[in-house]
Amino acid sequence: MAHAIRFHQTGGPEVLRWETVDVGAPAAGEVSVRHHAVGLNYIDTYHRSGLYPVPLPSGLGLEGAGVVEAVGEGVTDFVPGDRVAYAGGPLGAYAEVRNLPAHRVVKLPATLSFEQGAAVMLQGLTAQYLLRRTYRVQPGDTILIHAAAGGVGLIACQWAKALGATVIGTVGSDAKAELARAHGCDHPIVYTRENFTERVREITGGAGVPVVYDSIGKDTFMDSLRCLRPLGMMVLFGAASGPVPPFDLNLLNTMGSLYLTRPGIVAYTAKREDLVAMANELFEVVESGKVRIEINQRYALMDAAQAHRDLEARRTTGSTILLP
């Protein structure tokens, strides 16, 4: 028997319950992982609230790091004792121990701690595909990243800077602006006070940016489009302020033949070879020191509800982990 956070109805953080679960032996193709750390991600709040519907009752969480305790039939890539980490896969990372498909798991390099592994996998793989595949950032690009002091934000700012970009980032406070600046954000904009479209136009001499990475959604979407130069790419990858309402596609034409995409980590990591290549690239930028993993909040796993409250109230910066 083990403990896990589960929920039986959608709602606020109070729906999260600390329960005893029977994990059982891993099925064919699965590994059993004892978590040393679990990653907190904004998407966990969408599952909990019902914005992204899931069958109930359900476990929660998509990211963890720990040690393989057992492997199911047919698993050849892992043996008990391996240090591993993962992002994605079935919900259920908020648990002391769990089973999950072996093809979702990668070996954690010896240079990374379990805490770092749990903090960086989902947000770091997201930064990887956003900057390297969705819109491939080039040296000399000036780009806009929203929520620059958040989990994805701090990683993406550092990585984009290392790729040779000039980074404009939005943040909710002056303290967050300083943090973003210390992590590669050349021009932090406090968007709760400043008009970020005007500031982006000023910074780019009126030209606009080739790409906006927008994870805020409803509150920023239209203004983000206004920051783009002709043929620019709008990358909407989250909805921290709520989902974007239905949208007249003709606006993409009148605003400058813009591109719009709504990517998610699932499709980008669906093939095992892509997941492994992306993880290797991520581990490389961490090991080289180009991207520092900032774990700015730690909670006991059983206190996951408080972690959700703080995340949704914009009280966190960088990455957050839950400790079993």
Ligand X SMILES: NC(=O)c1ccc[n+]([C@@H]2O[C@H](COP(=O)([O-])OP(=O)(O)OC[C@H]3O[C@@H](n4cnc5c(N)ncnc54)[C@H](OP(=O)(O)O)[C@@H]3O)[C@@H](O)[C@H]2O)c1
Nearer to ligand X, 31 or 239 (CB): 239
Contacts to ligand X by CB under 6 A? 41-43, 122-123, 126, 147, 149-153, 171-172, 176, 215-216, 219, 237-241, 263-265, 311-312, 314, 316
How many CB atoms are located within 10 Å of the residue 320 CB? 24
C-alpha distances in Å from residue 111, one per residue of 33, 83, 289, 298, 321: 20, 11, 12, 21, 18
Nearer to ligand X, 71 or 183 (CB): 183
Nearer to ligand X, 126 or 158 (CB): 126
C-alpha distances in Å from residue 198, one per residue of 23, 141, 186, 189, 254: 53, 18, 16, 10, 19
Q: How far is the CB of 47 from ligand X (least distance, A)?
A: 11
Nearer to ligand X, 47 or 70 (CB): 47
For 123, which DSSP code?
H
Of the candidates 208, 210, 188, 211, the residue with the CA atom closest to the CA atom of residue 198? 208
Closest residue to ligand X, Cβ-based?
150
Q: How far is the CB of 131 from ligand X (least distance, A)?
A: 12
**What is the chain's alpha carbon radius of gyration, rounded to the nearest angstrom?**
20
CB 47 within 8 A of CB 63: no
Q: How far is the CB of 283 from ligand X (least distance, A)?
A: 18
Nearer to ligand X, 99 or 220 (CB): 220
Q: How far is the CB of 209 from ligand X (least distance, A)?
A: 18
Nearer to ligand X, 26 or 238 (CB): 238
Cα 242 to Cα 263: distance, rounded to the nearest angstrom: 16
Q: How far is the CB of 265 from ligand X (least distance, A)?
A: 4
Q: How far is the CB of 252 from ligand X (least distance, A)?
A: 20
Strands 187-190 and 166-171: parallel
C-alpha distances in Å from residue 310, one per residue of 41, 50, 212, 298, 322: 12, 18, 26, 11, 13
